[in-house]
Amino acid sequence: MRHTGGMTEGLDDPYLWLEEVTDETALDWVKARNAETTAELAGERFDSLRAGIREVLDADDRIPYPRRRGEFLYNFWQDATHVRGLWRRTTLEQYRTAEPEWEVLLDVDALAEREDENWVWAGAAVLKPDYHLALVELSRGGADATVVREFDLRTGEFVADGFTLPEAKSRVGWIDADRIYVGTDFGDGSLTTSGYPRVIKEWHRGTPLAEAVTVFEGKPEDVSAYAVHDSTPGFERDFVGRHPEFFTSEEFVRTPGGLVRIDVPDDATSDAHREWLLVWLRSDWTVADTTYRSGSLLAANFDAFLAGERSLTVLFEPDAHSSLAGYSWTRNHLILNELVDVKTKLEALTPGPDGWTRAPLPGAPELSSADVIDTDPDHSDEYLLNVSGYLQPATLLRGEIGGEVEALKQAPAFFDTEGLTVQQHFATSDDGTKVPYFVVAGRDPKGPTLLYGYGGFEISLTPSYAGGMGRAWLAQGGTYVVANIRGGGEYGPAWHRAALRENRPRAYEDFAAVARDLVARGVTTPSRLGMQGGSNGGLLAGVMLTRYPELFGAVVSQVPLLDLRRYHLLLAGASWMAEWGDPDDPADWAYLKEFSPYHNVHSGREYPPAFFITSTRDDRVHPGHARKMAARMRELGYEPKYYENIEGGHGAAADNEQRAFMSAIVYEFLLRTLQ
């Protein structure tokens, strides 16, 4: 429908009041929008979708993914009975059985009830090598900010007078049983402009936090600072560093004589394992007469490198079709996870007296993905591998390099795949770049199509099984499409760099090219094509809505960035300026304003139905983005849907009940709109 009406021009913002997260007036506005959306979308099908998704999330036979810590496999588990979850552990022998016996370490539901707090599990750091103490992090309502409490794994109790921190975006890590590294809100000047720790201290047991000794300081304009202790016997080292920008770092080794810089490019990632130093390049690096390509992984002897030697071995070099997605050390080997046109290839590399050898690592089938989810680099060559695809439920494999591979667990199938197919195609973007995308074709050739994308921060979208999506979309006759646009990491750092800052529109052109290609191939029509994205993908959704409205019949923007004039002033926004630019720099604002969704929604345009979703407790991407965009569109006479979960953090949900609700309401909107 076409609308006419006025709007505030220029950079004036009549909706700043909606940035006041918990202000009563702002929350009244939120609750009114929530009530409108719920009343409109609630109904029999919505209830069925929500129940089906909740069943997937709570399924007792889904895989309890473990992390090895010494002799035990640890797992965090949520289901219908344990809404907030159980932190628990078992042995490998027990894990192999159909119904393992778990030792419950912490019942978060019971803790929340006992303390009358809305606790959400945020992880734990367990002390090596005895694994008898842990630093547990708990969040109120799912926020990034957490409280930290020391936990005794022998008694199953929090340690009285142990290491404890109040709510903050802290960084903590063990040095030994009586010392930890801590970065937190120590008071004025201790945080960066992004809201993360700037000052790192060494804190001794039994002393007040105020007496902790500063070991490193970053700069106020940095993203964050950090410290890490490597407890590997014979290779004990301490590292400190700073992230000046999101993709850059300076790392130092703490030595008796002071800090020694690991002299690699600022945008490279360095990693030490025993005698080895790995350097993963984001840009070309010339050393002596040799230039090493962006995306390459290099190896050197750690001590020799620190002493000035530059003997480097290339372990991986990308080409036009391949990139390195990640790597994992075992005790004696290095596993490389590579992508070849977004399909997984695994290799095991072994250092020896005559150099490095390599061999294929089994477990990565066609049009599926395989991810190393855990290794035991201190003690063994064990690895855990998760294999799944769009139509293939996950299988958890366990192997040891050079040995047999066993299937530990098999996830259930949550939807019928008969008649469904998976294909990969390539669309041609405006500048001629070939952009890959996957199509999971539904059984109904005239059914709706949902196109998903992200395109940022060098994050790759690889094939994976999603039971909730299968039930709520594929089983309803829908087709599901994932676009591997620039800005992501599917083809390495160059693929990401191609859509940075002033080049960000390349990502949007790629996504639009995929949308057009789907129509050209007869997969769908614009009126039956919906798109969805969250966080950076929520910005993508906002741009599709305002720049390419004719390509879509519906747009879903979740926990989004939408106001590019003020994003750097809100919560963690300043940390992302390396990705998009600095709005306070006139040269950067000159291009940002061209695609900032909040500044490019106008009256008198034809926009597809839009749905904005966020969370009050999201302390990473400010809920004001979605609030203000919805309010501005309503002012102009449009009728976007809006829903804000009062809990949930950046994931927009704190438990399975909320996750099921938030997913179901999106699918109900899409099914109604694209019918």
Catalytic residue annotation = 535, 650
Distance CA 37, CA 665 (A): 9
- Residue where the block lists tokens 């700043």: 16
3-state secondary structure 176-202: ECCEEEEECCCCCCCECCCCCECEEEE
On the CB side of 111, CA atoms within 13 Å amount to: 23
DSSP annotation of 646 reads S
Q: Indicate if the alpha-carbon torsion angle 561, 27, 662, 655 is positive or negative.
A: positive
Picking from 452, 634, 439, the residue whose alpha carbon sits closest to that of residue 520 is 439
Locate the DSSP E strands across 429-560: 434-441, 449-452, 479-483, 529-534, 554-558
Count of residues for the chain? 675
- 3-state helix vs strand vs coil in the chain, percent to 5: 25, 35, 40
d(CA 511, CA 547): 12
Residue from 622, 617, 624 nearest 142 by CA: 617
Query: Which one-letter DSSP state was computed for residue 154?
Result: T
Q: Are 557 and 533 in contact (CB under 8 A)?
A: yes
Phi, psi of 580, rounded to the nearest 5 degrees: -110, -35
Of 515, 440, 449, whose CA–CA distance to 478 is shortest? 449
- Quick one: tokens of 525? 């029509």
Q: How would you classify residue 355: left for phi > 0, otherwise alpha for psi between -120 and 50, otherwise beta?
A: left
Name the maximum alpha-carbon separation found in the chain: 74
The encoded tokens of residue 370 equal 């395989």
Q: Give backbone dihedrals phi and psi of 51, rounded to 5 degrees, phi first.
A: -65, -40
Exposed/middle/buried for residue 525 (C-beta within 10 Å: 0-12, 13-18, 19+)? middle
Q: How many CB atoms lie within 10 A of CB 81?
A: 9
Distance CA 487, CA 591 (A): 17
Ramachandran region of residue 5, left (φ > 0), alpha (ψ -120 to 50) or beta?
Answer: left
Assigned token pair, 292? 């090493």
What token pair was written down for 175? Answer: 């040095």
Q: How far is CA 445 from CA 123, 223, 454, 474, 572, in A?
A: 44, 48, 26, 12, 43
The one-letter amino acid at 249: S
Non-local CB neighbours of 160 within 8 Å, separated by 6+ positions:
none
Give residue for tokens 């997937």.
Answer: 56
How many C-beta neighbours within 10 Å does residue 418 have?
7
Write the CB contacts of 11 (distance below 8 Å, at least 6 apart in sequence): 565, 599
User: Is residue 435 within 8 Å of residue 485, measured between CB atoms?
Assistant: yes
Contact 415, 392 (CB under 8 A): no
Helix or strand or coil: residue 94?
helix
- Alpha-carbon dihedral angle through residues 470, 384, 84, 121, given to the nearest 10 degrees: -120
Tokens 């009244």 sit at which residue?
28
